[in-house]
Structure 1
């Protein structure tokens, strides 16, 4: 059974984590390999799971050195990004190196967090932005980091979980209409998030 919620008991004491940090990072990096998908020239999706969020919490505590007192806040922040068994969750990043082009592009992508979709078996699953905060300013500027949930019906899960099913990930935003077909290795890895 896949774990769906991180608890304080899952977080290693800092000395234990530090001792094996390289190995923990390597192990989760291998898991992430088939959870990363580029869509168009500027956006990359990082599909999350229990393991990626576990590492995120461990790293935040390691970097910020907040100890056990920091853990509850990190769990509150990152638990919502662990898929619940009937959804996929992702962080997507708008990645543009040139600061002038980045500023101009972000100013034109307001609302992009509501324009992400997956298409499988002839059905479209619209992304739902994480509701922790507004990620588009009142002026219409998008944040460069977005969090999105894709809720599935049982039928959509079955279609997604079929080996070699064609799954399209994309955006319907008027200023970013890009799509990509998930490689089979990615589809197979993400299918493990259901159930």
Structure 2
């Protein structure tokens, strides 16, 4: 798939019958592709780094499930295109995954504003994440959403460092109720480096 693509267009979408016929193989390919783009942080948080490929797969799947045609396609594109990295950023879906509904509600009730405390560190230099503006991800009562969409914006110098094999990159959350950091593996860095133009 074209790496330089920054936006899904209508002509990028496979006809439903073609998608249906190839769906199993396409889904297997995207699972393989996503493997090095998933980073767990602490017991509950997982970052899923998005790209043109992951968002195209998501749109195709939504159209397959809901069969809403062109009308639905417009909504899907406006929802998912903003999550495709623009060449100077990384974008991620951050999910807090807790199976037990009572534990999940208790946790999310304590971590309001957590989306404001996400960061990356490149060689010790901190890059603060910017939450997607489309939706308020913490309610007025201070309850966080279990799904957050975030952007990390990079300077050219930071991109060059990120791509360097010698330089350490960390991702973290620094919330009083949930404070964790982890290093990106070389496989993570290699996969995510492709998102920069």
Task: Classify the TM-score, shorter chain.
Answer: over 0.9
Q: Which runs of 5+ in 1 are unaligned?
A: none
Aligned length: 195
User: Are the aligned partners of 1:90 and 1:147 in contact in 2 as well (CA < 8 Å)?
Assistant: yes
d(CA) in 2 for partners of 1:8, 1:152: 29
Are residues 1:60 and 2:58 paired? Answer: no
Which position in structure 2 is the counterpart of 1:162? 164
Residue deviations 1:127-185, cap 9 Å, x none? 00000110100000000000000000001001100014211000111111111001110
d(CA) in 2 for partners of 1:140, 1:123: 29
Q: TM-score, structure 1 length as denominator?
A: 0.98
Aligned Cα RMSD in Å? 0.8
Q: Give the alignment partner of residue 155 of structure 2, picking from 130, 140, 153.
A: 153
Give 4+ residue runs of structure 1 displaced > 4 Å after superposition: none
Secondary structure of the residue aligned to 1:178 is strand
Are residues 1:124 and 2:157 paired? Answer: no
Q: TM-score, structure 2 length as denominator?
A: 0.97
Are residues 1:137 and 2:139 paired? Answer: yes
d(CA) in 1 for partners of 2:26, 2:167: 32
Q: Which runs of 5+ in 2 are unaligned?
A: none
User: Are the aligned partners of 1:121 and 1:156 in contact in 2 as well (CA < 8 Å)?
Assistant: no
Which position in structure 2 is the counterpart of 1:185? 187
